[in-house]
């Protein structure tokens, strides 16, 4: 069991003052093996905070990030899965699942983690799975009026990944889960 936190679009301090207290109390150091961050933190303080939760931190650059050195996209392997990260402002049209699928083919990954729209999505297609963890702070977005704070925790176990999405709705944390399996013969997840 490998726990991977997928989180992003916090937009601290431009659009939000801080992570919701209920999220902060859930995110405890030592429990998570990897952190995948889609970008738009935006300041070093948030980077350091993530680093304190888990030293294996992977970040891609959002258009408001203070640190210019984060890469545009990144790929990594965790267990049997290849994961790709990209903030998503580079993929036009924004939030378009077919265009994201194209990026996924290009990066050749089973799971593509992307952000920018501040809307949680877990979408399965021929080439694999696209996951958007949403905005962890519920930051303003031109895509949707009411953004509920959300983040994703992936439990990677062999050829199976369980995606837990945590959403803060009306002050309560609601959890949902989605299962994805990867067949060893074909190269993609179904």
Partner 1 sequence: MLNGIDDEEKWLAEGIAGIQHNAFYMHQALDSNNLREALKYSAQMLSELRTSKLSPHKYYELYMRAFDELRKLEMFFKEDSKHGVSVIDLYELVQHAGNILPRLYLLCTVGSVYIKSKEAPAKEVLKDLVEMCRGVQHPIRGLFLRSYLAQISRDKLPDIGSEYEGDADTVMDAVEFVLQNFTEMNKLWVQMQHQGPGRFREKQEKERSELRDLVGKNLHVLSQIEGVDLGIYKETVLTRVLEQVVNCKDDLAQYYLMDCIIQVFPDEYHLQTLETLLGACPQLQPTVDVKTVLSRLMDRLSNYAASSEDVLPEFLQVEAFTKLSNAIGKVIEAQVDMPAVGAITLYVSLLTFTLCVHPDRLDYVDQVLGACVKKLYNIPKLEDSRAMKQVVALLSAPLEKYNDIVTALTLSNYPRVMDHLDNGTNKVMAMVIIQSIMKNNTFISTAHKVEVLFELIKGLIKDKDGADVDELDEEDFKDEQNSVARLIHMLYNDEPEEMLKIICIVRKHTMAGGPKRLPFTVPSLVFSALRLVWRLQGQEGDIVGEEVPATPKKIFQLLTQIIEALSAVPSPELALRLYLQCAEAANGCDLELVAYEFFTQAFVLYEEEIADSKAQVTAIHLIIGTLQRMNVFGVENRDTMTHKTTGYSARLLKKPDQCRAVYACSHLFWVDDQDGIKDGERVLLCLKRALRIANAAQQMANVARGSSGPVILFVEILNKYLYFFEKGNQQITGAAIQDLIELINTEMQSDSATPDTASDAFLASTLRYIQFQKQKGGVMGEKFEAIKF
Least distance (Å) between residue 168 CB and partner 1: 14
Selected range binding partner 1 among 32-40, 136-144, 157-165, 174-182, rule: CB under 8 A: 136-144
Whichever of 34 and 61 has its CB closer to partner 1, that residue is 61
* CB of 98 or CB of 179, closer to partner 1: 98
Interface pattern 153-182 for partner 1 (x via CB under 8 A): ------------------------------
Asked if 63 is part of the footprint of partner 1 (rule: CB under 8 A), the reply reads: yes
Spatial distance between the Cα atoms of 155 and 21, rounded to a whole number of angstroms: 23
Q: How far apart are CA 94 and CA 61, in angstroms?
A: 16
CA–CA dist 91, 95 (Å, integer): 8
Per rule CB under 8 A, is residue 106 in the interface with partner 1? yes
CB 104 within 8 A of CB 127: yes
19 or 54, CB closer to partner 1?
19
Q: In Å, how far are 47, 69, 104, 121, 141 from 20, measured between CA atoms?
A: 17, 27, 31, 20, 17
Under the criterion CB under 8 A, does residue 105 sit at the interface with partner 1? Answer: yes
* Alpha helices by DSSP H, 57-158: 97-107
Binding status of residue 29 toward partner 1 by CB under 8 A: no
Could you tell me which stretch among 50-58, 137-145, 165-173, 177-185 binds partner 1 (CB under 8 A)? 137-145
Residues comprising the chain, all counted:
190
Distance, CA of 169 to CA of 172 (rounded, Å)? 5
Q: Closer to partner 1 by CB, 45 or 56: give it.
A: 45
Q: Does 92 bind partner 1 (CB under 8 A)?
A: yes
Pairwise CA distance, residues 114 & 87, whole Å: 5
CA-based nearest residue to 42, from 96, 115, 111, 145: 115
Q: Based on the shown chain and the rule CB under 8 A, indicate whether residue 140 belongs to the binding site for partner 1.
A: yes
CB of 8 to partner 1, least distance (A): 17
Asked if 86 contacts 73 with a C-beta cutoff of 8 angstroms, the reply is yes
- DSSP at 148: P
Give the binding site for partner 1 (CB under 8 A): 11-18, 21, 43, 45, 63-64, 89-90, 92-94, 96, 98-99, 101-102, 105-106, 108, 126-127, 139-140, 142, 145, 187-188
């Amino acid at each position: 069991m490998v726990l991977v936190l997928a989180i992003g679009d916090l937009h601290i301090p431009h659009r939000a003052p801080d992570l919701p207290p209920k999220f902060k109390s859930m995110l405890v150091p030592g429990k998570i093996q990897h952190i995948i961050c889609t970008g738009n933190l935006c300041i070093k303080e948030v980077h350091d905070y993530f680093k304190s939760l888990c030293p294996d931190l992977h970040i891609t650059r959002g258009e408001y990030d203070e640190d210019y050195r984060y890469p545009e996209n990144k790929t990594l392997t965790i267990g049997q899965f290849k994961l790709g990260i990209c903030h998503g402002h580079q993929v036009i049209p924004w939030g378009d699942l077919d265009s994201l699928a194209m990026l996924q083919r290009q990066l050749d990954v089973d799971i593509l983690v992307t952000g920018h729209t501040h809307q949680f999505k877990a979408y399965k297609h021929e080439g694999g799975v696209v996951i958007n963890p949403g905005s962890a702070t519920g930051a303003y977005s031109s895509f949707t009026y009411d953004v509920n704070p959300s983040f994703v925790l992936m439990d990677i176990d062999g050829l199976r990944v369980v995606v837990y999405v945590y959403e803060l709705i009306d002050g309560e944390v609601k959890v949902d889960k989605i299962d994805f399996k990867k067949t060893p013969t074909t190269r993609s997840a179904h």
